[in-house]
Structure 1
Amino acid sequence: MSILKQITVLITTIFIGMIVEAKNAETATLGAGCFWCVEAVFDQLKGVESVQSGYSGGDIKNPAYKEVCTGRTGHAEVVQITFNPELITFEEILEVFWTVHDPTSLNRQGADVGTQYRSAIFYHSEKQKEVANEYIKQLHYDKVFDKPIVTEVVPFEAFYPAEDYHNDYYERNGDQPYCRMVIRPKVNKFKKQFKDKLKK
């Protein structure tokens, strides 16, 4: 087989693999406070193919970060997660979700206050809705939290990607004060608790 033919076969194999992977991929859209923090966590999970910071849940199309920060757009800061269900399930995604933020805090995560920081699951299917609601019932039953869970479970309608500078924010700005004092402790706690689920 000629080198050119070998290259062609290789490219075709990769392309077909990408199609299969994309076909099998699922999407989760979650609000859990500042998307810088949430992205930094989920991006490290085995089976997660991509994590995109953005906005969801509001009425305004293509909102800007400054608009969302006013709390008047109805949008929440979210991450849209593309994952391979053969490597990580939606239940496992939610397990991390419940762990890396406080789902009993209404419109607030730490010092970040406003409806844009609300706890929310924007479900993409009836199955995701069922899983989320059953999980919440079980958490209540097991008394995992001292206060009631206030997480919204609402249908996904639209996702608007955040401005480019928000993507991989922690990775690119790890020495900034907010990253050092807020994101890093959260990421370190996550790594310790879910070390068997991390990408190599």
Structure 2
Amino acid sequence: MPTLTLTGDAPADALLSDNAFALLIGMLLDQQIAMEVAFVGPLRLAERLGGELTPAAVAAADPEQLEALFREKPAIHRYPGSMAKRVHALATHLVEYHDGDAAAVWEDAATGDELYRRVAALPGYGDQKARIFVALLGKQCGVTPDGWREAAGDYGQDGYRSIADVTDPQTLAEVRAYKQARKAAAKAAASDG
């Protein structure tokens, strides 16, 4: 897998690049907080778990202890309780359905639709999150089965729409500006309606 630069934090980016489970956790955490903070979350969790960030280790963790790790300062997420539960559910799913191998979710997907279905089946991954993750895999990780761009929807297009397009501080700023413009347009449309 190529070296990702999603956070601006070298150790966090190295973990995301080397650990498929960390990448899935980062995407899972990417809501209600800044993108780069979400993707630093897996490194914080790994450190608090003593360095072992695997689906088996997290699935075997006591849910209350896992939540306590999420709450340690600095908290891993703005909503540590619900996110600890989601990460635990993700880990359990990977153990039950993918033999604890996070990369198995995408490694042999034959088509973009199959890839999307597998990602969308993960706990905590809705339609939009699954499409963004498919785009991230395709644009930056070399996971490009036939139809992956179509499966990623708008996020598969060129441009700066999501974490899938972040490769450095400049592209992070461009994605953030795009999101802010969309939010402002939606707010304006709501007030006109």
Q: Structure 1 length normalisation: TM-score? A: 0.24
Greater Rg over alpha carbons, structure: 1
Q: Which has the larger helix fraction?
A: 2
Q: Structure 2 length normalisation: TM-score? A: 0.25
